[in-house]
Structure 1
Amino acid sequence: ETIIYLRYAPHTEGAATASGNNRAAFHWRPIHLVKQEGTGTELPMTGDKVFVHYVGTLLDGTPFDSSRERGEKFSFELGKGQVIKAWDLGVATMKVGEISQLICKPEYAYGTAGSPPKIPPNATLVFQVELFEFRGEDITEGEDGGIIRRIITKGEGYTKPNEGAAVEVCLEGSCEGKVFDKRELKFELGDGESLGLPSGVEKALMAMEQGEESLFIIKPKYGYGNTGNSKYNIPGEATLQYKLKLTTFEKAKESWEMNSAEKLEQSIIVKEKGTQYFKEGKYRQASVQYKRIVSWLENESSLPEGEEQKAQALRLAAHLNLAMCFLKLQEPSSTFDNCDKALELDDTNEKALFRRGEALFAMKEFDRARADFQRVIQLYPSNKAAKSQVALCQKQIKEQHEKDKRLYANMFQKFAERDAKVRQTALSPYTLFLIHFVTLQSKM
């Protein structure tokens, strides 16, 4: 058996180590007996989701809990305090496939309180644990697996950078094992694209604490997409790996920290910034700036007299510009949402109606798209682009009708053939003989 000791000094948090060196300087207690070696060399990191089976007993062998009896693996996030301290320390030293016995002294288990009724106070516990799998933390909003974090060094505090925060970061980007970018940067979150950073890096930074160092696996959606990056020789659809250290940051003012005058002033500034990004073809960065205007002004109810119209004009422009950004980014549902918001502010707005029609066309909702373009023509008869779009919609609707007709015709043909086959196979020779016999009898 391999023994891994828990090292701890008085008034010092415990830490796990794989050797027994310098034992005289610390108090040591064995907690980790390896019963079956695991495979590979990789160990789980803080924040990883680990999947285990375990059997828990008291020191005298009395069982009190078993995931194996339940027939379902147990999972938890390592190092987040979701389990007893001995587990956070012990499982962090295990490899996939390893089976170990964790001997947990009370101070690393349930302490003086115990866990009634099965675990008495000051109980030493024994767990046999098998590690099946561990995976990094998915930090994307929809948990689509696009950005996975592995924490190397935990950060300090609980606050994280927000949109517009000034950050200092050390980064190292690699693809297929080759480092393509290694820099120390100071910038505002939202400006990363101008520095050649993929959107996933900024999203990653917004999930970090000060002083944290982490490894991020970034899928193409949050990396350089299907086009890649020619400067760094990154091919399309490449998965990237970034090691990031957030040295320090200063949060941008939140909406609730600003008065109405500040919100209006800052909205004008970021609108210009967004417009400049849009002109440069940096649509994602532009959208970040326009979103800030919406967040500042959308629910503002304490504007000075005479400033309401200015705020409404800024909000309208922000939604229209966001709609255009998302069209360029081929995200029609987001375009549609922003056009709806713009039309709530101005229900006859030409750009909002036209762009919503474009979004619906991209979503293959040709009838609804045609209705929006026809509304544009009704309100603005000189809009030639809307007339062209109506013609395109009608063409698509006609093609869809023809396609549906062919589809249904084929379906009906198949149903008819199947029914005929069923009727044929259902009449056995004996049945046909009876029918023929009855027919002859009726004629006699």
Structure 2
Amino acid sequence: MDFLFLPAYAYGEMGCPPLIPPVATVLYEVQVLDFLDSAQVDEFFAMSSEEQNTVPLSTLFNVVDTERSFGNHCFNQSRFEDAKDRYKQAVTLLGNREMEEKRSIAAVQLPIYLTLSLSLTQLRLDRPLKALEYGHKALEIDPTNTKALFRCGQAYLELFDYEKAQDYHTMAQANKPFDIDINNLLRKLAICYKDYLDKEKEMCFKMCADFVKK
């Protein structure tokens, strides 16, 4: 894709010696590596709150899906703060609709909470409490959801609450006994828990030893 820029929009009267002369019209060849169409999103956010709340659900879902795609794009570039903001915006838009639409909305909310999502993004930002909050929101929608159980287990592991982490991972494993990620995390959890217990035992032994000396 080629773009032609007049001097005023390129390098001006000075140019860029020695490669670009003064007052040069510049032809740029641009390769598009990625593209997200935000036209419908821009139109939506140009509406008033009342107008936004009256658009068809299909339109709202398209806007939310685009916001989620932007979030995924930011997540894949490790721009976790930007990803979090996009995911939260998507959830807020869904939360503004009336109660009778909640069931349809819940099905759209669930992946925003879970996959390349708010919960995982908060873990990447070292915010396990927030990750846990979104994991629990997902479980409110689907109490047996394996991904939600797994995310909660991850969050509890980051919070060093090994017993709850094991509870959630065990429930996730019951749903998918051969899932590699779940089984790997259970092994990691077992190692962390053993190290924790060993340190606790060592601390108790030292305290008892000090007490005997006294």
Q: Same fold (TM over 0.5)?
A: yes
* Shift, 1:316, TM fit: 1.0
Following the alignment from structure 1 to structure 2, what is the Cα–Cα distance between the partners of residues 368 and 353?
A: 11
Matched, 1:400 2:177: no
Partner of 1:354: 150
Are the structure 2 counterparts of residues 383 and 296 from structure 1 closer, same or farther at C-alpha, using a change threshold of 3 Å?
A: same
Measured on the aligned residues, the alpha-carbon RMSD in Å equals 2.3
TM-score scaled by structure 2? 0.68
* Shift, 1:257, TM fit: 5.4
Equivalent residue letter for 1:290: Y
User: Secondary structure of the equivalent of 2:98?
Assistant: coil
Contact 1:358 1:369 in 2 (8 A): yes
Which of 258, 261, 278 does residue 75 from structure 2 map onto?
278
Which of 28, 52, 75 does residue 258 from structure 1 map onto?
52
Following the alignment from structure 2 to structure 1, what is the Cα–Cα distance between the partners of residues 48 and 126?
A: 30
Offset from partner CA, 1:190-245 (integer Å, 9 cap, x none): xxxxxxxxxxxxxxxxxxxxxxxxxxxxxxxxxxxxxxxxxxxxxxxxxxxxxxxx
Matched, 1:380 2:176: yes
Matched, 1:363 2:193: no
**Percent identity (aligned):** 25
User: Secondary structure of the equivalent of 1:364?
Assistant: coil
Where does 1:175-254 land on structure 2 (aligned, <5 Å)? none
User: Secondary structure of the equivalent of 2:78?
Assistant: coil
Partner of 1:311: 105
User: Secondary structure of the equivalent of 2:72?
Assistant: helix
Question: Displaced runs of 4+ in structure 1, greater than 4 A?
Answer: 251-257
* Shift, 1:254, TM fit: 7.0
Equivalent residue letter for 1:317: P
Partner of 1:132: none
Gaps of 5+ in 2: 1-44
Contact 1:376 1:383 in 2 (8 A): no
Following the alignment from structure 1 to structure 2, what is the Cα–Cα distance between the partners of residues 383 and 348?
A: 16
Gaps of 5+ in 1: 1-250, 419-444
Are the structure 2 counterparts of residues 292 and 252 from structure 1 closer, same or farther at C-alpha, using a change threshold of 3 Å?
A: farther
Higher strand share: 1
Partner of 2:209: 413
Contact 1:367 1:393 in 2 (8 A): no
* Shift, 1:375, TM fit: 0.8
* Shift, 1:267, TM fit: 1.5
Which of 65, 74, 97 does residue 268 from structure 1 map onto?
65
TM-score scaled by structure 1? 0.35
Equivalent residue letter for 2:125: L
Following the alignment from structure 1 to structure 2, what is the Cα–Cα distance between the partners of residues 401 and 258?
A: 54
* Shift, 1:252, TM fit: 6.3
Following the alignment from structure 1 to structure 2, what is the Cα–Cα distance between the partners of residues 310 and 381?
A: 30
* Shift, 1:378, TM fit: 0.6
Contact 2:71 2:86 in 1 (8 A): yes
* Shift, 1:256, TM fit: 5.4
Following the alignment from structure 2 to structure 1, what is the Cα–Cα distance between the partners of residues 161 and 123?
A: 15
Which of 121, 143, 156 does residue 325 from structure 1 map onto?
121
Partner of 1:293: 90
Structure (1 or 2) with the larger CA radius of gyration: 1
* Shift, 1:345, TM fit: 0.5
Q: Which has the higher contact order (CA 8 A, sep 6+)?
A: 2
May I ask how many residue pairs the two structures share in their alignment? 165
Contact 1:277 1:285 in 2 (8 A): yes
